[in-house]
């Protein structure tokens, strides 16, 4: 049966170690090959994606070239720029594959603004990692040189710059997105979590932040009344007691079970926790919805057999 599916792409679907445009386009071509399986299955597909590495790299480029005549762009504008570039690459990759497979469908990428609250406590406690990993020494030097810059250690992998990550409360272009999806257009939106904006004097104004793409994708799935929120990450399943002798793969999980695992501290705050929280927000109180966390390479198994970690409100 055809489903309305929102797919949230993780960073590994776009960028590996090579940050060049060509390498990212190659990664997105491989990603598009997997996403095509949803179209062949008859599903209505909406795609969102992260941009943490890309926006961080762009900020570094902006800062390196900053001058009076060529001032660096602010973070909200950099989010828009990466939303546009990644959307452009993914849109073209999808269109090429559709043509090769004789599928008559349109693809569009939208620069999307996502409303947040100016009072969100996240602005006082930056936590969202962006940009490349650096050593502890490099991080401390960067913070010493700029008091407004914050770096934190990221899950044992190194240090990364962190910025505010407020929760999304609305998506400005939700009606346009829903209209396109209902017309059968493959729609790429809320890239990088969307451009964070606050309402001020009846206008939307960009702010210095990066919205977590999983929460933005959940808000999108909620607003367009999707059947499934599919969050793609580096692993086929979520685990409890991860990397311990008694680690356990999670398959179908109830809201109550997932909430208990969160209370136990089973999921890392910088990686799996926001994915599980976004999944819970989407399905809680909606027995006709499901949220799935799995890997890009596991898509075929998910379509055929429902493989992955599936969270439902029983």
Q: What is the mean pLDDT of residues 252-272?
A: 94
Q: Give the separation between CA 98 and CA 39, rounded to whole angstroms.
A: 9
- 243-260: pLDDT as tens digits: 899 999 999 999 999 999
Residue 128 is a catalytic residue? yes
Tell me, what's the pLDDT at 1? 58
Q: Residue 73: helix, strand or coil by DSSP?
A: coil
Which among 57, 128, 192, 219 is annotated as catalytic?
Answer: 128
Which among 12, 41, 92, 237 is annotated as catalytic?
Answer: 12
Say which residue, 95 or 133, is predicted with more confidence. 95
pLDDT above 70: residue 118: yes
Q: Do residues 113 and 84 lie in contact, with contact meaning Cβ atoms separated by under 8 Å?
A: no
Q: What is the mean pLDDT of residues 115-142?
A: 89
Is residue 198 one of the residues assigned to a domain? yes
Is residue 155 one of the residues assigned to a domain? no
Which among 161, 174, 219, 275 is annotated as catalytic?
Answer: 275
- 206-219: pLDDT as tens digits: 998 999 999 999 99
pLDDT band per the 50, 70, 90 thresholds, residue 12: low
Tell me, what's the pLDDT at 128? 80
Is residue 143 one of the residues assigned to a domain? no
Q: What is the mean pLDDT of residues 36-47?
A: 96
Region of poorest pLDDT, from 79-88, 209-218, 265-274, 289-298: 265-274
Residue 203 is a catalytic residue? no
Q: What is the mean pLDDT of residues 53-71?
A: 87
Which among 213, 219, 270, 308 is annotated as catalytic?
Answer: 213
Q: Give the separation between CA 54 and CA 87, rounded to whole angstroms.
A: 12
Any idea which residue has 């990686």 for tokens? 271
Residue 275 is a catalytic residue? yes
Is residue 123 one of the residues assigned to a domain? no
Residue 11 is a catalytic residue? yes
Q: Where are the beta strands (DSSP E) in the chain?
A: 4-9, 44-49, 107-109, 113-115, 128-134, 150-153, 159-163, 170-171, 186-188, 195-200, 203-206, 228-233, 239-240, 248-249, 252-254, 290-295, 309-312
Tell me, what's the pLDDT at 121? 96
Is residue 164 one of the residues assigned to a domain? no
Residue 12 is a catalytic residue? yes
Is residue 24 one of the residues assigned to a domain? yes
Tell me, what's the pLDDT at 168? 98
Partnered with residue 248 across adjacent β-strands are 240
**What proportion of the chain, given as a percentage, has pLDDT over 70?**
99
Is residue 121 one of the residues assigned to a domain? no
Partnered with residue 163 across adjacent β-strands are 128
Any idea which residue has 């792409």 for tokens? 9
What total number of domains does the chain contain? Answer: 1
Say which residue, 314 or 211, is predicted with more confidence. 211
Task: Supply the CATH number for residue 36's domain.
Answer: 3.40.1160.10
Domain of residue 24, residue span = 4-116+172-312
Is residue 150 one of the residues assigned to a domain? no
Tell me, what's the pLDDT at 285? 95
Which among 10, 11, 56, 270 is annotated as catalytic?
Answer: 11
Q: What is the mean pLDDT of residues 170-183?
A: 96
pLDDT band per the 50, 70, 90 thresholds, residue 57: confident
């Amino acid at each position: 049966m055809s489903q309305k599916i929102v797919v949230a792409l993780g960073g590994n679907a776009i960028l590996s170690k090579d940050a060049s445009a060509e390498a990212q386009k190659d990664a997105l071509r491989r990603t598009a090959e997997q996403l095509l399986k949803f179209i062949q299955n008859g599903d209505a597909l909406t795609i969102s994606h992260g941009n943490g590495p890309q926006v961080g790299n762009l900020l570094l480029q902006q800062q390196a070239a900053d001058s009076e005549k060529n001032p660096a762009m602010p973070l909200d504008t950099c989010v828009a720029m990466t939303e546009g570039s990644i959307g452009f690459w993914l849109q073209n990759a999808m269109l090429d594959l559709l043509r090769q497979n004789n599928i008559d469908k349109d693809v569009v990428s939208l620069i999307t603004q996502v409303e947040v609250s100016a009072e969100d406590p996240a602005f006082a406690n930056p936590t969202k990692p962006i940009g490349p990993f650096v050593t502890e020494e490099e991080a401390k030097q960067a913070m010493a040189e700029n008091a407004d810059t914050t770096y934190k250690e990221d899950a044992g992998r190194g240090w990364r710059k962190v910025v505010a990550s407020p929760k999304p409360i609305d998506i400005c272009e939700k009606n346009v997105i829903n209209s396109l999806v209902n017309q059968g257009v493959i729609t790429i939106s809320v890239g990088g979590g969307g451009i964070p904006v606050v309402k001020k004097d009846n206008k939307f104004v960009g702010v210095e932040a990066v919205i977590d793409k999983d929460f933005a994708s959940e808000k999108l799935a909620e607003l367009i009344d999707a059947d499934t929120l599919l969050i793609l990450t580096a692993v086929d399943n979520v685990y409890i007691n991860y990397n311990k002798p008694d680690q356990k793969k999670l398959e179908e999980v109830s809201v109550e079970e997932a909430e208990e695992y969160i209370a136990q501290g089973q999921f890392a705050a910088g990686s799996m926790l926001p994915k599980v929280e976004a999944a819970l927000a989407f399905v809680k109180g909606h027995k006709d919805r499901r949220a799935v966390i799995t890997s890009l390479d596991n898509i075929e198994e998910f379509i055929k057999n429902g493989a992955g970690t599936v969270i439902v409100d029983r």
